[in-house]
Chains A and B, each alone.
Chain A
Amino acid sequence: MQYALQLAGVLAIGALETVKIAVMALAISLPVGLIVGAGRYSRTRYFRWPAAAFVETFRNIPVLVSIMWFFFAFPMLVPFEISAYAAAVLALSLNTSAFFAEIFRAGIQSISPGQWDGARALGMSYRDQMRRIILPQAIRRMVPAFTNRWIELCKLTALASTISYQELMYTTKMIANAYYNPVEMYSVCGLIYLAIIYPMVRATYRLERRAAKETA
C-alpha cells in the first residue's frame, strides 16, 4: 500500500509536468499563431512569404525530429545550453503555432466578403472591421479546430520523454522498468492522459454548441 501511494505521488508529479509543458506551449502558440496567421493573410509579401515559410516548415517536420533537433543539435550551434523542458516547449510551440496560424487564416477567409463590404461602407477603419465584425465571427468558427489542436498538443507532450524530461510518460517508463510492472504502469498512464484530456473534450463540445446557438 505504502508502495502504491509512493508511485501515485511520482506519477502525479509527472502528470503535473505534462500539464506544465502543454500549457506553456499553448501560451506561446496562441500569440505566435495569431501573428503568423495575420502574416499569411497580409497583402504585403514581406509578411506573407516568411509566414508561409514558417507554417510549411514546422507543420511538415515531425515534432519528434524538432524536439531532438532543439535538444541535441541546437546547443551545438549557439553558445548556450538548453534544458529538456525548453527544447520540448520550443518544438511543440513551433509546431502548434504553425497549425494555429492556418486555423486563424482559414477562419478569417471563411467570412464572406460581404461582411467586409458592410463594415467598410459604414466608414469603419480596418482595425475596427477586424475587431468588431470579422474576428468575433471568425473566432466562433475557429473554436473546434483550435480545441482539436490543443488536445493534440496535450498528447504530443509525451514525446518530451525521449529527451528524458520527467513528465508523465517518462515517469511511467522509469517505474515500469524498475519494478517490471509494464501492464499496470502503462495502463494507469493511459488512464491518466484520458482523465486529463477527456474533460477538456467535453468542455469543447459545450463551447461548440454554445457558439453554434449564438450564430443561429
Chain B
Amino acid sequence: MPEAIRAEKLFKSFGDQQVLAGIDLSVEVGETVVVLGASGSGKSTLLRCMNFLELPTGGRIYLHGNLVGTPLGNQADAKMKYAEPNLQRVRAKVGMVFQHFNLFPHMSVLHNIMEGQVTVLRRSRAQAESRARELLAKVGLADKADSYPANLSGGQQQRTAIARALAMDPEVMLFDEVTSALDPELVGEVLRVMRALREEGMTMIIVTHELGFAYHAADRIVFMDAGRVYEEGHPHDILIAPKRERTRQFLEGHNQFRLPEAGPLVASEQT
C-alpha cells in the first residue's frame, strides 16, 4: 500500500526540554498504528506535530509523499519554514480527536459537525447537514443531533468529536488518548466506532492505554520511549513477546493487576 503520512527524524523541544528526539514513523494508507509509551514519552506531542498543532523544531513530515513546508536551504537537515495557510490545508486533511473532546459548547451536536465543513471546506449548509446526519447515524447518535455537548455522556461527546473530525473527509485520523477521560463502561462504545473505521480502511494513528484494543485493532504497534521509537512490530510480538527491556517493564506494569481468564462457562462453550 502507498504511504499516507510519514514523519522523518522529527524533533520537538519546548524551551530546553526535548520531547521528540528524532522520530521516524511511516504509516500506510488503510493502516492502523497504535502508539504506546509511558507518559512523557512524547506520544501526544508526536500526534500534535503530525497535524501541526505544534510546529516541529526539526525533521520533516510528508503527507501522501508530499513534503509539508519549505526547507530553508539545500541540506537534508535544513530547517523548515511553515506557512499558516498551508498548515491549515494539512490540518483539514488530518483529523484529530482529543482526550477531552474539545467540542464547541455553544453549538448543538449537529452544528459541531457542520462547522468545519461550512467554514473550511465551504460546503453549503444543506450539504454539510446531510453529511453530518449521515455521520451521526454511523456513530449511533442520530437522535442527538439537536442536543448540546453538555447534555451528552462522555462517550457520546467523544463519538460526536469523531464524527466532527470525519466530516472533513480526512485522509488520516489521529486519536490522542480518546478513552482516557471516560468512565470504564463508556470506553467500549468509542472503541467500537474506531474499530468500524479500521474495517472501512481509514488510516489511523492511535495513542491509547487500552492494550486489549491495541492487540485486536492494530496492524502495528509502536512503543515510544524518551522521544524515540524504541520498539515496533506486530501487536502480538510487542504485547506478548517484547524483545527490549523498557517495553517489557511497561507491559509488566500493565499486567500486574489483570483479571483472571474468563470463567469455565466460556471455556466449556468452546469445547
Interface residues of A (CB under 8 A from B): 114-115, 117-126, 128, 132-133, 136-137, 140, 214-216
- In the complex, are the beta carbons of B53 and A121 less than 8 A apart? yes
CB contacts (< 8 Å) of B116 on chain A: these are: 122-124
* B104 touches A (CB below 8 Å): yes
Contact A124 B119 (CB under 8 A): yes
Are the C-beta atoms of B100 and A121 separated by less than 8 Å? Answer: no
A123/B89 in contact, CB under 8 A: yes
Considering the complex, give the chain A residue whose CB is closest to the CB of B52.
A120
Q: Chain B interface (Cβ within 8 Å of chain A)?
A: 51, 53, 84-85, 88-93, 95-96, 98, 100-106, 115-116, 119-120, 148, 150, 161, 164-165, 168
CB distance B106 to A136 under 8 Å? yes
Nearest residue, chain B, Cβ from A123 = B92
**Chain A residues in 8 Å Cβ range of B89:** 123
> What residues of chain B lie closer than 8 Å to A114, measured between beta carbons?
98, 100-102
A137 and B91 form a contact (CB under 8 A):
no
Complex: A67 Cα to B89 Cα, angstroms: 52
B106 surroundings in chain A (CB, below 8 A)? 136-137, 140, 214-215
**In chain B, what residue has the closest Cβ to A127?**
B119
CB-CB under 8 A from A136, the residues of chain B are 106
In the complex, which residues of chain B have a beta carbon less than 8 angstroms from the beta carbon of A128? Answer: 119-120
A122 and B150 CA atoms in complex are apart in Å by: 21
**Roughly how many angstroms separate A114 CA and B96 CA in the complex, as a whole number?**
12
**Contact of A123 (CB < 8 Å), options: B104, B105, B161, B168:** B168
Closest CB of chain A to B217's CB: distance in Å? 22
> B115, A122: Cβ atoms under 8 Å?
yes
Interface centre among B100, B104, B150, B165 (most CB of A within 10 A): B104
Pick the contact of A137: B88, B93, B105, B148 (CB < 8 A).
B105
Instruction: Give me the 4 closest cross-chain CB pairs, A-B, nearest first.
Output: A123-B92, A118-B102, A122-B116, A114-B102
- Centre residue among B95, B98, B105 by max chain A CB count within 10 A: B105
Contact B168 A118 (CB under 8 A): no
CA distance A133 to B95 in the complex (A): 18
**A–B complex contacts, Cβ < 8 Å, 6 sampled:** A118-B98, A122-B119, A124-B120, A133-B104, A133-B115, A214-B106
- Most B Cβ at <10 Å: residue of A121, A124, A214: A121
Identify A122's interface contact among B84, B85, B168, CB under 8 A: B168
Residue of B85, B89, B106 with highest tally of chain A CB at under 10 A = B106
Residues of B within 8 A of A117 (CB): 53, 96, 98, 102
Q: Which one of A118, A125, A128, A132 has the greatest number of beta carbons of chain B within 10 Å?
A: A118
Distance A125 CA – B104 CA, assembled complex (angstroms): 16
* C-alpha spacing A124/B89, complex, angstroms: 9
Q: Contacts of A216 on B, CB cut-off 8 Å?
A: 148, 150
Q: Assuming A117-B102, A121-B102, A128-B120, what are 8 further A-B pairs, CB within 8 angstroms?
A: A114-B102, A120-B91, A121-B91, A122-B165, A123-B90, A125-B88, A126-B84, A140-B106
Partner among B88, B104, B119 whose Cβ is within 8 Å of the Cβ of A118:
B104
Residues of A within 8 A of B53 (CB): 117, 120-121
The docked-state distance in angstroms from the alpha carbon of A125 to that of B115 is: 13
Bound complex: CA A171 to CA B96 (Å): 64
CB of B103 within 8 A of CB of A118, answer yes
Whether A121 lies near B150 (C-beta < 8 A) is no
Inside 8 A of A140's CB, which chain B residues have their CB?
Answer: 106
Q: Which residues of A contact B105 (CB under 8 A)?
A: 137, 215
| Contact yes or no, B88 A124, CB < 8 A | yes
With most chain A CB atoms within 10 A of its CB, the pick from B96, B103, B119, B165 is B119
* Distance between Cα atoms of A89 and B106 in the complex (Å): 36
